[in-house]
Structures are given as structure tokens and as C-alpha cells.
């Protein structure tokens, strides 16, 4: 692979890092170390985890180097260390943390010079630069998790970070009562679901396979705050998280749990789409990328699933405990949004940027 392509990887890694650091730039060390919620990590953990994941894959695994801090990596293992204990772990903080981020990156770039990352590369981790794409996606996805916490920090205002599609920036699509209830009819038939064999995708998006769908209808737009306000008024249901901050009525509803999404859908006489329906309809959906959209589907393996590069990424989460969300939110980097991308979470979660879109049988 040409040096230009390695340069492109190095540039993209640098850009992702600039974004991560810009988000925490307004905070001091005590805010980075503080535990704001037992379902979210202190930001210092996220930052150290980003660096450690990079060290583990790009320096230790690919570059065959020893870790910089011995056994420290085990405190950054997301499975071993549930979020509620991360504030008490002996993780790196303050200037040590910043030095670690920089030192890992320096070694990453050194290793990048040595490896072959072409389509012919023998190691599947290196083929088409897979492991570098994985690392980029990892860091960009973590900044979304960090944004969930950042909105809990008193007085925090978002710095002007590129690739954040803030609801109050950019044009807000025109909506009227009629257009928000407009539906798209999807015919019964065979649809292809999942990521194709080439290009970067996670293991859980593969393999691409056919599904049979009955005819259904799906809303052109996600459910809006004003739609939901009616439901709240009529049922006395608990408002979504941060509702008291005064949501813009025409913007998509955000910060609802799967249970709330289900209850709302039931109240309207419609239902959540399955993730297969969502993906089949995705080329025709509008206002994508503002909120993650809950689907009715459990997070399950596709036929022929093979864990790659490690079972803890998705396989460990398969089952009926997690529900699938599709699309992407204002906090999702555009580079990690694609129609086949499957996000998943526990049905009670509402700190995530989650809303819904309604569907019904035709
Ligand atoms: Fe992670």
C-alpha cells in the first residue's frame, strides 16, 4: 500500500484525536475524574481507555511491543470493569494521562510505518487497514459516549467541533402536522440486509443475507417532541430525560428508553419497526442522523456470524437483553454512520441519544 494511504490513516487518527481533546478541553482535571453517574464512566477513564485500546491493538498486537504501563490495561477493559466501579480504579489521571495518550500515539505511528496494510496483507487485521479503521471507529464512538456525560456537566457548552450535527446548528427541516405523519409504503418481498464482504464493518453486520418481509408502512420522519408532548399530556407518563430543558417542538424526540418508545408506539396504534424493516426502508427515510432509533429487535447474530476480531465486541452481547437501535444521532460522527450499523443497548437506557420512528403492518 502506498505511503499516501498510510499518511491518510495518520491524518484521520490525528483528526479523531483533535475532536476527542476538543470536547474535554473546557474541563479541568477534577471534572475529568469525577463520577457523574453510575451508568457512565468518568471522562478520564474514557480517555485512558481510548489510548489503551489503541496501544493494545496497534502497538502490542500489530507492532509486537510491550505495553508502556505493564498490567495497567486490565483497568481499561470495558467488560472486566463495569461503569459503576470505574471511578475507583487506579487509572491514569491528569498529566500522566495526557502523556500516555501522546506516547501511545507516537508508537502507533512508528508501527504504521513498518506494516503492510494492502488488500493482499496476510494478517486479516491488516488487510485493507481493518485494524486502523476499527481504532478510528472506536475513538469516534467513544466521543459519543463522552457526550452523554458532557451534557450532565454544569455550565458545559460544546466547543465548535466539526462533524457534530448539533440540532441547533444547520437547517432544521421544515415539518408540518401533515408531513410528520406521512408514511412510506414498503412492498412485501426479499430484501438484502447487512454489510457486504468488502469495506469496513463490524462482525455483527455480516454476513449480508436475504430476509423476507411482509408489506409495511414506516413514518418518513422520526417522532417529534410535539408528537410526544401530546402523549405525555394525555397519559401523564414520565417525561424523557432532560425534557425540562425545553425541547424544540419540531425536533425529533430524544432520550427515551425502549420501554417508553414501545409505550408511545402502542398509544398511537402503531409499533416499532424491526431492524430488518428499518434497514430495508433506510434509503427512503428522512431526518436520519439526529437520534438513534429504537427497533423492536433483540440484538442477535446474523446467519453465519463469525466473531472478528474478538468475541467481546459483539458476541458477548447477543441475546434478548439488548435492543437494537439504528441510524445515528447528532453526536455520531458521520464516518461511523451507515445503513447496516447496529447499535444496541439495554431497554431501560435513556442517557443515550435515542428516539424512535413508527411503523405498522400494511
Ligand atoms: Fe471501548
In this predicted structure, what is the pLDDT of residue 166? 58
Answer whether 296's CB lies under 8 Å from 274's CB: yes
Whether residue 277 has pLDDT greater than 90: yes
Question: What's the whole-number mean pLDDT along residues 235-241?
Answer: 97
Distance 264 CA to ligand 1 centre (A): 32
Q: pLDDT, tens digit, for every residue of 49-58?
A: 999 999 999 9
Distance 313 CA to ligand 1 centre (A): 9
Distance 77 CA to ligand 1 centre (A): 8
Distance 146 CA to ligand 1 centre (A): 11
Distance 138 CA to ligand 1 centre (A): 6
Distance 135 CA to ligand 1 centre (A): 9
pLDDT bin (cut points 50, 70, 90) of residue 311 is confident
Out of 64-68, 164-168, 292-296, which region has the weakest mean confidence (pLDDT)? Answer: 164-168
In this predicted structure, what is the pLDDT of residue 246? 87
Distance 133 CA to ligand 1 centre (A): 14
Amino acid at each position: 500500500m502506498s505511503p499516501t494511504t498510510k499518511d491518510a490513516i495518520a491524518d484521520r487518527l490525528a483528526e479523531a484525536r483533535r475532536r476527542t481533546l476538543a470536547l474535554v478541553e473546557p474541563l479541568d482535571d477534577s471534572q475529568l475524574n469525577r463520577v457523574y453517574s453510575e451508568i457512565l464512566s468518568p471522562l478520564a477513564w474514557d480517555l485512558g481507555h481510548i489510548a489503551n485500546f489503541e496501544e493494545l491493538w496497534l502497538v502490542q498486537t500489530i507492532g509486537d511491543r510491550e505495553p508502556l504501563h505493564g498490567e495497567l490495561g486490565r483497568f481499561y477493559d470495558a467488560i472486566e470493569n463495569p461503569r459503576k466501579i470505574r471511578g475507583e480504579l487506579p487509572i491514569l489521571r491528569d498529566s500522566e494521562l495526557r502523556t500516555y495518550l501522546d506516547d501511545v500515539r507516537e508508537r502507533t505511528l512508528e508501527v504504521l510505518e513498518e506494516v503492510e496494510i494492502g488488500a493482499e496483507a496476510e494478517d486479516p487485521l491488516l488487510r485493507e487497514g481493518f485494524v486502523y479503521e476499527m481504532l478510528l471507529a472506536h475513538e469516534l464512538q467513544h466521543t459519543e459516549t463522552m457526550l452523554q456525560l458532557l451534557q450532565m456537566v454544569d455550565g458545559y457548552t460544546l466547543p465548535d467541533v466539526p462533524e457534530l450535527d448539533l440540532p441547533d446548528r444547520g437547517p432544521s427541516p421544515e415539518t408540518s402536522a401533515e408531513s410528520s405523519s406521512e408514511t412510506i409504503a414498503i412492498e412485501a418481498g426479499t430484501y438484502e440486509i447487512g454489510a457486504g464482504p468488502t469495506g469496513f464493518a463490524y462482525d455483527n453486520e455480516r454476513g449480508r443475507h436475504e430476509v423476507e418481509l411482509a408489506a409495511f408502512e414506516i413514518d418518513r420522519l422520526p417522532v417529534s417532541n410535539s408528537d410526544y408532548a401530546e402523549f405525555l399530556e394525555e397519559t401523564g407518563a414520565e417525561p424523557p430525560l432532560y425534557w425540562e430543558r425545553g425541547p424544540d417542538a419540531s425536533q425529533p424526540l430524544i432520550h427515551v428508553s425502549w420501554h417508553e418508545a414501545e409505550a408511545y408506539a402502542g398509544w398511537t396504534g402503531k409499533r416499532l419497526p424491526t431492524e430488518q424493516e428499518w434497514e430495508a426502508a433506510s434509503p427512503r427515510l428522512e431526518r436520519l442522523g439526529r437520534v438513534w432509533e429504537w427497533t423492536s429487535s433483540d440484538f442477535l447474530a446474523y446467519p453465519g456470524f463469525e466473531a472478528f476480531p474478538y468475541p467481546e465486541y459483539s458476541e458477548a452481547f447477543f441475546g434478548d437483553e439488548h435492543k437494537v437501535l439504528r441510524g445515528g444521532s447528532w453526536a455520531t460522527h458521520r464516518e461511523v454512520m451507515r445503513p447496516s450499523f447496529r447499535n444496541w443497548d439495554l431497554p431501560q437506557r435513556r442517557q443515550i441519544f435515542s428516539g424512535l420512528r413508527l411503523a405498522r403492518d400494511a
